[in-house]
Amino acid sequence: MSVSIRVNDELYNLAKTQAKAEFRTIPSQIEYWARVGRAAMDNPDLPIEMVEKLLIAINEESEPFEFSN
């Protein structure tokens, strides 16, 4: 579902610049910031850089690890 929201020009321009640098759309950049912010609020003891890396790791595709006997 898509919903239109209003953001101020400053946030829009910051998102536009960052989105271009990170190969995202502007809405995707704002959504990413919202997810990072929400995770940071849910985990106030973690540094923001760790929160960001954890979100990236959660979304990475990976192969199951097999233990050798």
- Identify whether the C-beta of residue 51 lies closer than 8 Å to the C-beta of residue 39: yes
How far from each other are the two terminal CA atoms of the chain, in whole angstroms? Answer: 47
Q: Quote the pLDDT of residue 16.
A: 96
Q: Quote the pLDDT of residue 63.
A: 73
Whether this model's pTM surpasses 0.75:
no
In order along its 69 residues, the chain shows pLDDT tens digits of 788 989 999 999 999 999 999 899 999 999 999 988 998 899 889 898 898 888 888 877 777 778 886
Cβ neighbours of residue 41 closer than 8 Å, sequence gap 6 or more: none
Q: Quote the pLDDT of residue 21.
A: 93
